[in-house]
Amino acid sequence: MRFTAAKLVTTTREQRMDLDLATVDHLLSTTRAVRKRLDLERDVPRAVIEECLRLAIQAPTGSNSQGWRWIVVTDRDKRAALADMYRRGFGPYLEERIAGRVDDVGQDSTMARVAESAIYLAERLQDVPVHVIPCIHAAGRPEGPGLYGSIFPAVWSFQLALRSRGLGSVLTTLHLAHADEAARLLGIPDSVEQVGLVPVAYFTGDDFRAATRRPAEEITYWNAWKS
């Protein structure tokens, strides 16, 4: 089904009030960062990516600027080049962010799982069938919340749309240490900033579960910061 702006905004009041909250809540609470369960053997149709992007660009954007751009990479050689850039950024990240926090794998099972999952993706990124690089026109705009707030809501909407169609994804940023090299590879102009790389594939296995999080009440402060 092809979504147009007209079709997306012509829902009736009754339809808006009749959202299936159980389904919506399940989607929001179980959309995970998927690495080890990406299906590296199954092709992803172009039409599915385009459908998800049509939904993604309904996200809010600062001053309605709509400066987002999306580069979808399916070419095998270009995926291999991007994976190489990713791995060159991955080594320092693993040492500083993960290995540095786990003296003994057995001491922190959560961090150990994160490290194992991250290594798995780094070794196989070139085999993930679709790489999506979200970009935003940055010329004349200072970096900071205003710039990134105009692209990341759309990125998350894209990932939710993928999830609802049986695809997994994860927002990564490690190739950005070599963003200039990626720009040359993909012909990205200097006025456009890459904000990440989203590997996309169908996911394997059963459905996902909600993650363990601290209670929202413990991390939510009303009217002033709470020590």
Residue 143 to residue 59: CA distance in whole angstroms: 20
Cβ atoms of 45 and 165 closer than 8 Å: no
Q: What is the mean pLDDT of the chain?
A: 88
Question: Which of 187, 130, 117 shows the shortest CA–CA distance to 158?
Answer: 130
Q: pLDDT of 65-81, one tens digit each?
A: 899 999 999 999 999 99
User: Which of the four pLDDT bands, split at 50, 70 and 90, describes residue 98?
Assistant: low
Residue 135 to residue 196: CA distance in whole angstroms: 8
Task: Provide the token pair at 87.
Answer: 């791995």
User: Which of the four pLDDT bands, split at 50, 70 and 90, describes residue 12?
Assistant: low
Residue 108 to residue 174: CA distance in whole angstroms: 23
Q: Is the pLDDT of residue 208 over 80?
A: yes
Q: Is the pLDDT of residue 9 over 70?
A: no
User: What value does the mean pLDDT take over residues 107-125?
Assistant: 84
Residue 140 to residue 212: CA distance in whole angstroms: 41
Domains and CATH numbers, the chain: 34-204 (3.40.109.10)
Residue 105, classed as helix, strand or coil, is helix
Output the pLDDT for position 94: 75
Q: Is the pLDDT of residue 209 over 90?
A: yes
Q: pLDDT of 155-207, one tens digit each?
A: 999 999 999 999 999 999 999 999 999 999 999 999 999 999 999 999 999 99
Output the pLDDT for position 93: 74
User: Which of the four pLDDT bands, split at 50, 70 and 90, describes residue 104?
Assistant: very low
User: What value does the mean pLDDT take over residues 51-73?
Assistant: 94
| Strand (E) or helix (H) holding 202 | strand 198-202
Q: What letter represents residue 167's amino acid?
A: L
Cβ atoms of 193 and 138 closer than 8 Å: yes
Q: Is the pLDDT of residue 7 over 80?
A: no
Could you tell me where the DSSP H helices lie in 57-195? 76-93, 109-124, 145-148, 152-164, 179-186
